[in-house]
Chain A
Amino acid sequence: QSALTQPASVSGSPGQSITISCTGTSSDVGSYNLVSWYQQHPGKAPKLMIYEVSKRPSGVSNRFSGSKSGNTASLTISGLQAEDEADYYCCSYAGSSTKVFGGGTKLTVL
């Protein structure tokens, strides 16, 4: 159960697009279409933004999108807004009723 690998930080200007990668292995990300992404603002509980690789929960902006290729999943945020500044975590099913998170990525909106 090794943590998924995410960049520690990414940044972008308002209106731009950014992509956060999430690299796992053939035992987790590569084996299941069960990757999710969470947004966490300081002092708040995480919020589900993307599930099953690319599905958006009701109420989540369509500026958020997800994809996967091989052992790497990605979260793309288009039309960056100041309110998108937060920490983002990916999470994957890893078999045998276990899950694994990424280390988290701090998004800064310049």
Chain B
Amino acid sequence: EVQLVESGGGLVQPGRSLRLSCAASGFTFDDYAMHWVRQAPGKGLEWVSGISWNSGSIGYADSVKGRFTISRDNAKNSLYLQMNSLRAEDTALYYCAKDQSARPVGDFDYWGQGTLVTVSS
């Protein structure tokens, strides 16, 4: 059974940093691209970032480019999102999602339950 478990969320002040993690199991992690998708309270889904199976292809939404860094450790079956210079508008539930493809171009066939990030002073 595929499982994606996010962690690392919490309350953080504007301008500070936070690192999210996603532990994956139930599939061959290094065969697939992975993504972070967020959802602000009461709002729609927003794609944040995606990374290919070998970290060779990475993409970011314009809203986070230059502030967020996605990475993965295939030996640990883990996906990460380093979030710097956080803003109030980054407040959201952050989902980890598995791609159906090895490159970050496909579809999200499995999702975690999300970890909540709240940016507030």
Which stretch, B13-21, B82-90, B111-119, touches the partner chain A? Answer: B111-119
Which of A36, A45, A57 lies in contact with B113, CB distance below 8 A? Answer: A45
- Among the listed B47, B52, B105, B113, which residue makes an inter-chain contact with A101, where contact means beta carbons less than 8 Å apart? B47
Distance of B75 from chain A, by nearest CB (Å) = 23
A49 vs B35: C-alpha distance in the bound complex, in angstroms? 18
Q: How large is the interface on A (under 10, 10 to 19, 20 to 34, 35 or more residues)?
A: 20 to 34
Q: Which single member of B44, B47, B61, B104 contacts A103 (CB below 8 Å)?
A: B44
CA distance A51 to B46 in the complex (A): 17
Q: Is the CB of A101 within 8 A of B46?
A: yes
Contact of B106 among A51, A102, A103 (CB under 8 A): A51
- Residue with the highest number of chain A CB atoms closer than 10 Å, among B59, B103, B112: B59
Contact A48 B109 (CB under 8 A): yes
**In the complex where A1-B62, A96-B59, A97-B50 touch, is A46 in contact with B105 (Cβ < 8 A)?**
no
What is the chain A residue whose CB lies nearest that of B60?
A: A98
Cross-chain contact A97 with B58 (CB below 8 angstroms): yes
Q: State the CA gap A34–B105 with chains docked (Å).
A: 7
Q: Which residues of B contact A32 (CB under 8 A)?
A: 105
Task: Evaluate contact between B109 and A57: CB separation under 8 angstroms.
Answer: yes
Report Cα–Cα, A89/B45, bound state, in Å: 8
- Residue-by-residue, is B1-22 near A (CB-CB < 8 Å gives 1, otherwise 0)? 0000000000000000000000
List A contacts of B35 (CB < 8 A). 99
Residues of B within 8 A of A (CB): 35, 37, 44-47, 50, 52, 57-62, 95, 100, 103-109, 111-114
Instruction: List residues of chain A with CB under 8 Å of any chain B CB.
Output: 1, 3, 32, 34, 36, 38, 40, 45-48, 51-52, 57, 87, 89, 91, 93, 96-104
6 A-B pairs within 8 Å (CB atoms) are namely: A45-B111, A51-B107, A51-B109, A98-B47, A98-B59, A104-B45
